[in-house]
Structure 1
Amino acid sequence: METYGGRRNQAERDAMTVEVGYALCSALFAAAVLFGAVAGPALLFELPGIVEKLLVRVGLTIAPVVFAARVVSVLVRFRRESRQPSQPGRTNPDS
């Protein structure tokens, strides 16, 4: 993204598409692992009613927060890295 607010070329659009896909997939994985770690014991073992309900609710509360935080962090990092040249002060090796 060389020009701010300008049109993006195909490579930049493809890079953004891949990054959004990565952000969504990694966030889904992180949220699922967290939910499994928190609510898994309640789903696998016979626990007292209040403990079982509490673990499931905590898992259902934390998983979307982790999902959103992961998506935002990946996309913010991508945006920050895409503005900086990969090798400042050096010419393109193809030129």
Structure 2
Amino acid sequence: MAVDVLIYTIARLLLVAVLAVAIYFGGQLLGISEFPVVVPLLLAIVLALPLGIWLFTPLRRRATASIAVFDERRRRDREQLRARLRGDEPPAV
């Protein structure tokens, strides 16, 4: 699970970085010489939010599926523990 989520997170951060660099140098090409770095970074974050969801759909689905598997395993383990604490027969796996 951690690997899938880490890959998705790194992809999203790289998208923000690429967009920020493209916006910064695009501003330089347009003749804006005094262009604070914060402006392209904030604009890149805003643009990367919807763009990342669209571009990285397979990565997002894989990360979501691995989180769901982890949550299901955790829920099953918790049910077995509660059953053992009550003295019941734990549910079959």
TM-score, normalized by the shorter chain, greater than 0.5: no
TM-score by length of 1: 0.42
TM-score by length of 2: 0.42
Question: Quick check: which one's helix share is greater?
Answer: 2
Larger Rg: 2
